[in-house]
Structure 1
Amino acid sequence: MGSGRGRAGAEAGARAGAEAGAGRVGSGRAPSLRWRIVGAVALLLVVTNVVVGAVTVVAFREYLVGRLDAELATAAGRVVGDGGAPPSGSSGSGSSGSGSSGSGSSSDGPDPDNRFIGVPGQAAGTVVAVFRSGSTALAGYTDSEGRQHGLTTAQRRTLAAIDHDGSPVTVRLGSLGSYRAQAVGNGDDVYVTALPLGSLDATIVRLAVVFGGVTLLGLAVATWALALTVRRALRPLERVAGVASDVAALDLERGDTDITARVATSDLTANREVGQVGTALNRLLGHVGRALTVRREAEAGMRTFVADASHELRTPIATVRAYAELSASSHDLRAVHANVDRIATEAVRMGDLVEELLLLARLDARTLAGSAPLVVEALDLTSIVVEATMDARTTAPGHRWTLEVDAEPVTVDGDAGQLRRLVRNLLANAASHTPDGTAVVVSLQRVRGEGQQTVRLVVANDGPPIDPALLPTLFDRFTRGEASRSREHGTSGLGLAIVQAVAQAHGGSVRVVSGPGRTAFTVDLTHTASSGPSPAQ
């Protein structure tokens, strides 16, 4: 049997280990909480930085375009206001031309006199075009060295298509790139001025590159710092998980009932969430430890109970067997009759013991189930106490019995047989464990309360006090005075255990107070007035 229990415990331990291993494998496959947090925060940082960068770049470009538009308006005003009348004809027609390698004399380019193209204060790369009645009067630009260049037909068409309402627009002038252009009408003449967007676009690109680089660098640093921070923050949680794993590794089926593993106080105060989990785990481990301790004590008590019951039954069984053998070998009828009487006495004793054990088992079962006693009815407890006291006077005439009861009958709701046994056991206990001449006072009275009344039964005597060392276990089963197995008074050691079980089954309690000159057993039963007998349970 022991080896079977050991094998069962080993199998349970193997199953627990397999489950723990499966948990570890599963946790290895799934992303850890730490990296999930780091990934989520990193993704949030990327999205935030991209949005902020995009908004910044767009806003800064709009700002630069606004400044360029202001410069464009100034340049256009200078062209219209300072250039005078445009030349007649289409001097700027044809392909893009270039002047000589000199510094740009007045005889070179589409505007030799620099009246519109290359005027003082005009920035390099500024495109100027003048259209008269839909035809190009001149169109060109100056480079960084001051040389004039003409525009291609496609470029002139692009400029001619611009609305001359004075609003800046962005146009693409072929190989020259993007420009901000403004067309202003003056009679039949249309003056178009355009400034290059190349440097502005280059600035925006550099800004975007710098912003992206800083974002990547910041993301790397933030991810590293966040990983360390989350790891430190989750370290207490890992220790909590370690405590749970240590407890799961215990072989509780084999008797490892001492659960000493607990979450440390430093981890409970690390942060609120881990503290809540750790506190709940500590509380759970405490409950489990107490439950295992109770189970171990219950098993030990059951083993003791079975051993005591076997011991109690062994003696009468041996006595019956011995007298039966004597009767079988004896030819004396008087001896045989005496032996039969002795066998009957022992049989009655065994029957009483078995009946008491069955009663305790039934009371235990109904108490654990939260059920009421076997039969509940309105009882006259006064008559039961009077009858039991009269019987005690007959069976123990050497004691001085005194009965104190109220004039009005005291009623309770309960089981008549069980309450009668309770009273008789208390009186038998007083008669069995005190010498002749002891005064025994039996009193029954009501104790008023709010909405209910308590019926109090007291059995007191002035005999020798009970050993103080015996008081904590006095109501345990098979407990006898002076912890002996003597059968001088024929007691089984179950009388007071039955008294306590019956009192608890009726929602009451029993207690004892013992000292020199007085020992008193007090039973309190709570009674709620009822109009009649209750149905059997």
Structure 2
Amino acid sequence: MTALGRALTRLRGRSLRVRMVLVHSLTLAAVCTAMAVATVLVQRYYLIRDLDQRVTDAAEHSQGGREHAPPGASLGFLNERGQHTGTLAALMTGEKIATAEVVTDQGPRSLTAAQRAALGGIPADGTLHTRTVPGLGTYRLTAVTESGTAMLAGLPVDGVQHMIDSLVVIEACIAGVGLVLAGSVSAVAVRRQLRPLRRVAATAVEVSHVPLDRGEVSGLTRVPAADTDPGTEAGQVGVALNRLIDHVEWSLSERQRAEEHMRRFLADAGHELRTPLASIAGYAELMLMGVDSRKIEPELAWRRVSDQSARMTGLVEDLLLLARLEEGRPLEAVEVNLATLVGDAVWDARAAGAGHHWQLVLCLDAPATVTGDPSRLHQVVANLLANARTHTPAGTRITVTVETADGHCAIRVHDDGPGIPGDLLPTVFDRFTRGDASRSRTPGAAGGAGLGLAITAAITQAHHGRIEVESAPGDTRFTVTLPLTAARSRDSGTA
């Protein structure tokens, strides 16, 4: 199939080249034919007009020759020197021919009765006529009257026709040679013009052979820069192909990244769920075997089972929440005062982390009112405060600032703890991202599943806000920015 595809590609390329050369040749042939026909017609017109003028001059000359000729020699002027071979003259009586002669190589010769009959019926009014005289050919004739005598004169058309035929043959030969040369030049020019297109096609064929269904896709071949000139048709095709390859490569990379992220997510979720399930299964087995023999109190076993069940339930609820947020399901939309909400969250965090120093700072140029889901916004602040409390040692100062400016409300959670490791900072908002155990200075602190900051980021984005983090040893700052209700209403109205 690959060989057949290459053969069809070559055939299509050749047929395109042949069609272009054929079009150029036919166009040139049409132009040459039109010019040749126009030349022949114009030349014929001028030659016939010149012949007619000579016929008229011959008729007038015949009248003058007859007047000066001796009696009885009415057509004697034909014997004068300088008369062209084939010149015909006749003396007319009415519209009948009385006598007629034609100049030959041996001198004037009288016409036969049949030849004279072919000349009859021409009026003596000076108009020009074309007649075919038997044995002599086609003539242009005219008759004039002077002093009551009508004279007819004529010249053969064969010379003019022979000249026109020769002109047609010469022009046909010249046109044929010109077409051959033009076709050759067109073939070479078309072949040169199609070279970039062939290189573009070769690039497309090379990319089509890359296995895009598996493995990492990167570094696909591109059309060379010399073949991507947007000023030419082939260059436009090259630019479009490069853009398509870029899009394909980016899409495949994103798909691979999403698949890798999903695999890691499933592995982490399975690992997180396996631990509480193993604990529940172990305690259940112990209870079936008889907890008294192992000196384990039933209340302790049930409490451990309940704790692990609650942990697993929370993990599942967090995963479902993330899934709902990513699907774009609508949240509750009411007006929420962030100053009050953050104050309540700080009070709760202070009760849970009495070993830390908590501080709340309000810098409000306008009411800190946003439109959103109050329970989810409280979850955002609570997750940030819990993250700061969990991963910093006792005695750490945690400062929470609420600030309004430029139509937005910013919530900043700052701590002077050990900071976030540099290799962890780019993925801090990804699922199941957990800090190094050494960052936690709280003895016996239990690490979470690594979903808190991921949920925080998802909720913030669902409220048309953004979350940022900056961290260095002794200076870690999370900033959540949300649009105020009035500013969000103006933006919606403008849109």
Cα gap change, 1:437 to 1:236, in 2 (>3 Å) = same
Aligned residue runs from structure 1 range 274-423, under 5 A: 274-332=234-292, 335-366=297-328, 373-405=330-362, 410-423=368-381
Kept after mapping to 2: 8 A contact 1:57/1:204: yes
SS at match of 1:251: coil
Kept after mapping to 2: 8 A contact 1:466/1:481: yes
Aligned position for 2:395: 437
The one-letter amino acid paired with 1:431 is R
1:67 to 35, 45, 50: 50
CA offset digits 1:504-528 (Å, max 9, x no partner): 1111111122223321111111123
SS at match of 1:253: coil
Kept after mapping to 1: 8 A contact 2:391/2:439: no
Cα gap change, 1:301 to 1:29, in 2 (>3 Å) = closer
CA distance in 2, matches of 1:351, 1:523: 28
CA distance in 2, matches of 1:133, 1:512: 123
Cα gap change, 1:130 to 1:86, in 2 (>3 Å) = farther
Cα gap change, 1:23 to 1:363, in 2 (>3 Å) = farther
Aligned position for 2:454: 497
SS at match of 2:220: coil
SS at match of 2:79: coil
Runs (4+) of structure 1 exceeding 6 A deviation are 85-89, 483-487
CA distance in 2, matches of 1:494, 1:29: 57
The one-letter amino acid paired with 2:416 is D
SS at match of 2:446: coil
Kept after mapping to 2: 8 A contact 1:133/1:188: no
Cα gap change, 1:154 to 1:270, in 2 (>3 Å) = farther
1:475, distance to aligned residue in structure 2 (A) = 1.5
Kept after mapping to 2: 8 A contact 1:236/1:270: no
CA distance in 1, matches of 2:420, 2:291: 48
CA distance in 1, matches of 2:266, 2:42: 90
CA distance in 2, matches of 1:287, 1:387: 48
SS at match of 1:252: coil
Provide structure 1 residue ranges, at least 5 long, that are not aligned to the other structure.
1-16, 90-110
CA distance in 2, matches of 1:462, 1:135: 135
Aligned position for 1:263: 223
SS at match of 2:436: helix
Aligned position for 2:474: 517
Provide structure 2 residue ranges, at least 5 long, that are not aligned to the other structure.
none
CA offset digits 1:7-35 (Å, max 9, x no partner): xxxxxxxxxx68x9579649848983322
Cα gap change, 1:270 to 1:526, in 2 (>3 Å) = closer
Aligned position for 1:463: 417
2:179 to 201, 206, 219: 219
Aligned position for 1:142: 103
The one-letter amino acid paired with 1:442 is V
The answer as to 2:138 corresponding to 1:178 is yes
Kept after mapping to 2: 8 A contact 1:389/1:427: yes
The one-letter amino acid paired with 1:514 is S
Aligned residue runs from structure 1 range 478-489, under 5 A: 478-482=432-436, 488-489=445-446
Kept after mapping to 2: 8 A contact 1:84/1:115: no
1:428 to 382, 386, 389: 386
1:55 to 34, 38, 46: 38
CA offset digits 1:163-216 (Å, max 9, x no partner): 212233322112211112121112442111111122221111111001111111
Aligned position for 2:87: 126
CA distance in 2, matches of 1:153, 1:87: 26
CA distance in 2, matches of 1:271, 1:457: 52
The answer as to 2:76 corresponding to 1:115 is yes
1:355, distance to aligned residue in structure 2 (A) = 1.0
Percent of residue pairs identical:
41
How big is the alpha-carbon RMSD for the aligned residues of Structure 1 and Structure 2?
Answer: 2.8
SS at match of 1:313: helix
The one-letter amino acid paired with 1:297 is R
The answer as to 2:208 corresponding to 1:248 is yes
Q: Normalising by structure 1, report the TM-score.
A: 0.83
1:114, distance to aligned residue in structure 2 (A) = 6.2
SS at match of 2:99: strand
SS at match of 1:405: strand
SS at match of 2:348: helix
The one-letter amino acid paired with 2:392 is T
CA distance in 1, matches of 2:344, 2:185: 87
Aligned position for 1:238: 198
The one-letter amino acid paired with 1:299 is E
1:485, distance to aligned residue in structure 2 (A) = 12
Cα gap change, 1:331 to 1:347, in 2 (>3 Å) = closer
SS at match of 1:175: coil
CA distance in 2, matches of 1:395, 1:263: 62
The answer as to 2:53 corresponding to 1:77 is no
Aligned position for 2:127: 167
Q: How many residues align?
A: 483
SS at match of 1:160: coil
CA distance in 2, matches of 1:220, 1:81: 56
The one-letter amino acid paired with 1:390 is W
The one-letter amino acid paired with 1:144 is D
Kept after mapping to 1: 8 A contact 2:343/2:360: yes
Cα gap change, 1:23 to 1:362, in 2 (>3 Å) = farther
